[in-house]
Amino acid sequence: MKVSLTPLEFSRRARKLYADREAVVDGDLRLSYTQFFDRCDRWSRALQDMGVAAGDRVAYIAPNTHALLESFYAVPQIGAVLVPINYRLTGYEMAYIINHSGAKVLCAHPDYIDELDKVREELPLVEQFVALDGQKEGWLDYDALLSKADPDFDAPAIDEDDVITINYTSGTTARPKGVMLTHRNVWVNSTATLAYPCRPLPSSPRSRRRPPGSSRSTSYMAAKR
């Protein structure tokens, strides 16, 4: 029997073993693993209620907040694809990535909404605009949607070769390119990062081996303790 490798398994393990342990600290907000994954489940339901289905893209523009972390589980566990976008880009650069990725829903931190409103008319594929913190005119309220949503969502079968996220290059020499990562890619990257020994190289006592992989895997490593 083939068991698909997916970082979503990390959440199931964390719920079972560390349910009441503190999982997330974001300013004054503190969440246990149970509370954190309950929020993820509710956001999965809310996305499905907005019409998001397997294969659809959901774009995020936000710094390192609990809402962004929730997207790393809420989006892929309904079979959708996460598109995290560099918040340091200009509105027009963001618009190119949003359109190129085919994002159906755009979630943004309030710090970047004014910039996005300038290019909103250039985002014809986006059906829902969600403000991740507080209320903004013309944007749905993330916490309001999440609080009203049921934690039960329709969980599709996930194959390890399904795309879980599209990460865009910096585009230093041309337009940014979308790099598609699968569930298996991220699972292997996360576990390899945990298993790879960080020890001095024999040639230099000061040098350190750098664990393979990008920082994306750390979002999932937090649940695989």
Per-residue model confidence as pLDDT tens digits over 130-142: 999 989 999 999 9
DSSP-derived 3-state class of residue 182: strand
**Does residue 176 contact residue 165 with C-beta atoms inside 8 Å?**
no
205 domain-assigned: no
Residue type, 27: G
- Pair of tokens at residue 82: 């996460």
Asked if residue 164 is part of any domain, the answer here is yes
Domain count, the chain: 1
Question: Tell me, what CATH number does 169's domain have?
Answer: 3.40.50.12780
DSSP helix/strand/coil, 110: helix
Output DSSP code: residue 222. T
pLDDT band at 193 (very low <50, low <70, confident <90, very high): confident
Q: How far does Cα 172 stand from its chain's mean position?
A: 24
d(CA 33, CA 23): 5
The range of the structural domain enclosing residue 187 comes to 8-193+211-221
- Per-residue model confidence (pLDDT) at position 207: 38
pLDDT tier for residue 159 given thresholds of 50, 70 and 90: very high
Residue 170, pLDDT > 80, answer yes
Q: Is residue 145 in a domain? A: yes
Which residues touch 26 (CB under 8 Å, ≥6 apart)? 65, 66
Question: Looking at residue 210, what is its pLDDT?
Answer: 40
Residue 48's closest CA among 84, 75, 72?
75
Residue 198 in domain: no
